[in-house]
Every structure is written in C-alpha cells, then in structure tokens.
C-alpha cells in the first residue's frame, strides 16, 4: 500500500466545488494582485491568530525579511536563531545585512534551547528569532523575558506552526511580529507561493505593507526603497476556502501523531518526537531520529521500497552549510545537538486524512528494519 508523505490532491478533491468556484470568481472579477479578497484574508488571519494586523506578502521568506527590514535590522546587528530550520530563516537574516547567530537545540522537540540564549545575546542582538519547528512552539515565556530585559525584538518564524498554541496563545501572536508561509505543503497552503506577517504593532504593519509594495503608500510616490512582494487574489481566495478547515486538519495531524507514538513506542533505537505540555503542536511534520545516519538510511530505503514517502529534515544544520562560508566574519559555532541530527532525523507520513491502516503499514516497515 503506497503512502505519500503528503496528499495535496486529496485535499483539493475534498473542497473541489468551493475551490473551483472561488477561483472562477477571481477570474471573472479580474482583480489579480491585492484587492478585496486579499484584504478579507488578512482580516481572517488576524482574527485566527488573535492579533490586530495581518499583512499578506509573496511568501514566508519575504515575510521574515520584511519584518526585519521594517524594524530597521541591518549591518552591524545580530539576529539569534536556531540552526535546525529551513534555510529561508537564515537567508532572510543575511539579506538584511545582519549577522546570524545560532544557539543549539533541545533533543526531542528540535526547537531552540532557550536556556542557551543568555550566553549568545550581546548588545548587538537586535532580534531573537524562534522557529516553531515542525509545528510545535518554542518555550516562549523565558525567551520573551530575556528579550525584554536585553532590548531585543522577538520575531517568530511560525511558517510551520499555523494553529499551534503556547499556553493557550496562538503561534503568531507571541512576539513583536511573526511570519507565516502558505507554501503548498504547509498546514495551510495555497496553490503557489504566499505568506503573511502578523503583529499587534500598527506602525510596524504599515511599514511592512509599504516595503512589500515598492516603498509606496500612495501610488507612484515612493517614500523609500521596498520590494515587490504581494499576495495574488487567487491565492487569497483559495486560502479563504481552506482556513475554516484548518483546525480540523490540525487535529487530524495530532491524532495521527498519537497513533505513531503508540505504534512505535517500543522501538528502542528510534527517538520519537517529544511534545511539550505547554501547548498544542500541529505536527507540520512527524520527525523521528535514528541511532545513526546509516540506520536512518536503512529505514528510509525500506520505506521508499514499500512506496512510503519519507525525507530527511534536515540533512545538514544551517551553521554547517557551505553558503555560510561566504559570510564575512561568520565563525561556525559548535552545536552538538543540532549536529547530532545531521542525516539522522526523517519524516514519516502524517497528514490530514491518513488512515490507521496506512500508519500501520508505515510502522510495520520501520519495525521490519529496527525491531
Ligand atoms: C517554509 C518555511 C519558510 C519559508 O517560507 P516560503 O513561503 O517557502 O518562503 C521559512 N521558515 C520555515 C521554518 C519554513 O518552514
């Protein structure tokens, strides 16, 4: 029985009549960039995340960049983040001219180890950027307290965590501003690229909006140099159809994760994801860690042979990436927990609608190699 890592076509078929109608309406209205659908989406996302402002943009990477640009982050500044995330996080930092500074991660959650922040925050730290990796929130309260004491902004990379909560508060409402991605594979995905910035700071929201649209707030008059990063009306229309289903999809992901937790509990050499009691995770990915890269390779080969989708997340920590060598003044730190994940942490299929039979097949295949 083949099991994909993610089934985007099934999600389309589930909502086909509504999606097709929404797309048709945009085509007929012929307002393609920005416009009322995008404004409606922004209002819906702000409400969903419990914040006052949402500003749509071209993708999650731009959302991160635009927030930092609006905060005035630039050369001479440092941005503290995690090495265990998608490359976009550090790319957005580097494009502001700031220097990325990495702290190690916790085993099990793979999130930034907040207890290590104190040691790397300096007077140059302008932003602390937690990434809610795989859909579970970073332990935000101690992070926020430290940031406040040291005068740093907190920018959440919530690209994998829409719908997750921390002590009852939604991801995207915890720091000064947050970035979400609507890339198709994210928990709330559109049919292409898309992103949004959320914040309670009205001035910041206005700056992000201006920067995302060529530095203009009045057409053909430019107060500053911006970029072109806007959301298409088609994507907004698609997201508006999907948003009301997000909480149900996220609980299906949580339920599927609980099934794996049980099916794989006694596989001694496999580390299952740890879920912290302070919030609800949304399992953007269900990540397991093998005892060695070689063992991960053997399990992944068996899965692929059985037609089961899997992939390494992430094969190489960011501070070890070749691109970082281009950065003048960057000295790669030693981050043993993050490095211990290289080529060892991989995803098992965990998407809304996955059946118990499919999960049993996945577990059987994994156990066939390790148990
Ligand atoms: C997907 C992702 C991004 C980038 O989002 P795009 O929309 O692809 O630009 C940034 N950070 C994390 C953690 C992500 O998962």
Query: Is residue 190 domain-shared with residue 65, that is, in the same domain?
Result: yes
Q: Phi, psi at residue 138, to the nearest 5°?
A: -65, 155
**One domain for residues 145 and 29:** yes
Q: Measured from the CB, is residue 257 less than 6 Å from ligand 1?
A: no
Q: What is the pLDDT of residues 72-123, one digit of tens each?
A: 999 999 999 999 999 999 999 999 999 999 999 999 999 999 999 999 999 9
User: pLDDT at position 259, please?
Assistant: 98
Which band of pLDDT confidence, cut at 50, 70 and 90, is reported for residue 195?
very high
The answer to whether residue 2 sits within a structural domain is no
pLDDT at 254: 98
For residue 189, tell me if it sits in a domain.
yes
Is 114's C-beta closer than 6 angstroms to any atom of ligand 1?
A: no
Angle between helices 356-370 and 246-263 (to 10 degrees): 30
In DSSP terms, 346 is beta-bridged to: 288, 312
Q: Are 341 and 319 in contact (CB under 8 A)?
A: no
pLDDT at residue 253 above 90?
yes
Say how many Å lie between the CA of residue 134 and the centre of ligand 1: 11
CATH number of the domain residue 147 falls in:
3.40.640.10
Ligand 1 neighbourhood includes 231 CB (under 6 angstroms): no
CA distances from 41 to 17, 53, 88 (A): 19, 11, 24
Average pLDDT over residues 265-271: 96
Task: Encode 262-286: b = buried (16+ Cβ within 10 Å), e = exposed.
Answer: ebbeebeebbbbebbeebbbbbbbb
Give pLDDT tens digits for 155-176. Answer: 999 999 999 999 999 999 999 9
Q: Is 195 in the pocket of ligand 1 (CB under 6 A)?
A: yes
Domain boundary among 186, 216, 244: 244
Domains held by the chain: number:
2
pLDDT in tens, 289-346: 999 999 999 999 999 999 999 999 999 999 999 999 999 999 999 999 999 999 999 9
187 and 321 in a single domain? The answer is no
In testing the pocket of ligand 1, which one of 60, 230, 317, 347 has its CB within 8 Å of the most ligand atoms? Answer: 60
Q: Of 185, 219, 244, which residue is a domain's last?
A: 244
Q: Is pLDDT at 34 greater than 90 in this prediction? A: no
| One domain, residues 238 and 290 | no
Q: Which residue minimizes the CA distance to atom 5 of ligand 1?
A: 60
The residue range of the domain holding 221 is 8-103+110-244
Q: Is residue 161 within 8 Å of 109, Cβ to Cβ?
A: no
The reported pLDDT for the residue numbered 271 is 98
Is 147 among the domain residues? yes
Could you say which of 192, 213, 244 is where a domain stops? 244
Same domain, 252 and 216: no
Q: Are 52 and 200 in contact (CB under 8 A)?
A: yes
Per-residue model confidence (pLDDT) at position 102: 98
d(CA 90, CA 127): 12
Same domain as 161, residue 297: no
- Residue 285 pLDDT exceeds 90: yes
Does residue 216 lie within any of the structural domains?
A: yes
Cβ of residue 61 lying under 6 Å from some atom of ligand 1: yes
What residue's CA is closest to ligand 1, atom 2?
159
Q: Are residues 27 and 146 in the same domain?
A: yes
Residue 154 lies in a domain: yes
Do residues 259 and 336 share a domain? yes
Distance 22 CA to ligand 1 centre (A): 25
Looking only at the bridges linking them, the beta strands covering 169-170 and 165-166 are antiparallel
pLDDT at 217 over 90: no
Rounded distance from Cα 283 to ligand 1 centre (Å): 15
The answer on 50 and 181 residing in a single domain is yes
Distance from residue 196's CA to the centre of ligand 1 (Å): 11
Q: 79 and 194 share a domain?
A: yes
In-domain check, residue 3? no
Share of the chain above pLDDT 90, in %: 98
**pLDDT reading at 367 higher than 90:** yes
Atom of ligand 1 nearest to the CA of 195: 7
Beta-carbon contacts of residue 237 (< 8 Å; ≥ 6 apart): 22, 23, 25, 26, 37
- For residue 362, is pLDDT > 90? yes
Contact residues for 216 (Cβ-Cβ < 8 A; gap 6+): 210, 222, 223, 226
Q: Does residue 1 fall inside a structural domain?
A: no
Q: Is the CB of 351 under 6 A from ligand 1?
A: no
The residues with which 287 forms a beta bridge, in sequence order, are: 347
C-beta of 42 in contact with ligand 1 (< 6 A): no
109 CB within 6 A, ligand 1: no
Within this chain, do residues 299 and 211 fall inside the same structural domain, yes or no?
Answer: no
**238 shares its domain with 93:** yes
Q: Which residues, including other chains, have CB under 8 Å from residue 325's CB and lie 6 or more apart?
A: none
Ligand 1 atom nearest 194 alpha carbon = 7
Our mutation pick for probing the ligand 1 site, out of 66, 79, 89, 285, counting the most ligand atoms within 8 A of Cβ, is: 89
CATH of the domain at 299: 3.90.1150.10
Tell me how far the alpha carbon of residue 169 lies from the centroid of ligand 1, in angstroms. 21
Cβ 130 under 6 angstroms from ligand 1: no
């Amino acid at each position: 029985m083949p099991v994909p890592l993610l089934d985007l076509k099934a999600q389309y078929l589930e909502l086909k009549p509504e999606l097709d109608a929404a797309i048709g309406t945009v085509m007929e209205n012929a307002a393609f960039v920005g416009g009322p659908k995008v404004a409606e989406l922004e209002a819906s996302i702000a409400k969903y995340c419990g914040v006052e402002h949402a500003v749509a943009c071209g993708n999650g990477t731009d959302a991160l960049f635009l927030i930092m640009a609006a905060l005035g982050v630039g050369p001479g500044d440092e941005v503290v983040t995690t090495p265990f995330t998608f490359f976009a996080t550090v790319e957005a930092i580097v494009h502001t001219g700031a220097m990325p500074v990495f702290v190690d991660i916790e085993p099990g959650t793979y999130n930034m180890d907040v207890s290590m922040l104190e040691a790397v925050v300096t007077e140059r730290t302008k932003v602390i950027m937690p990434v809610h990796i795989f859909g579970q929130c970073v332990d935000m309260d101690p992070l926020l307290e430290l940031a406040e004491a040291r005068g740093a902004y907190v920018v959440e990379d919530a690209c994998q965590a829409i719908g997750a909560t921390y002590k009852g508060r939604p991801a995207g409402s915890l720091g000064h501003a947050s970035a979400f991605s609507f890339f198709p594979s994210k928990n709330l995905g559109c049919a292409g690229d898309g992103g949004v910035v959320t914040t309670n700071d009205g001035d910041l929201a206005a700056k992000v909006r201006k920067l995302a649209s060529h530095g203009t707030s009045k057409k053909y008059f430019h107060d500053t140099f911006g970029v072109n990063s806007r959301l298409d009306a088609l994507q907004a229309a698609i997201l508006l159809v999907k948003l009301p289903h997000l909480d149900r999809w996220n609980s299906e992901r949580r339920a599927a994760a609980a099934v794996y937790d049980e099916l794989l509990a006694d596989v001694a050499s496999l580390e299952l994801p740890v879920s912290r009691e302070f919030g609800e995770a949304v399992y953007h990915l269900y990540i397991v860690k093998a005892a060695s890269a070689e063992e991960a390779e053997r399990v992944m080969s068996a899965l692929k042979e059985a037609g089961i989708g899997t992939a390494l997340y992430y094969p190489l920590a960011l501070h070890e990436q070749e691109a970082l060598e281009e950065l003048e003044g960057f000295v790669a730190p030693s981050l043993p927990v993050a490095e211990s994940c290289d080529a060892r942490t991989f995803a098992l299929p965990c998407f809304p609608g996955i059946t118990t039979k499919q999960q049993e097949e996945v577990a059987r295949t994994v156990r066939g190699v390790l148990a």
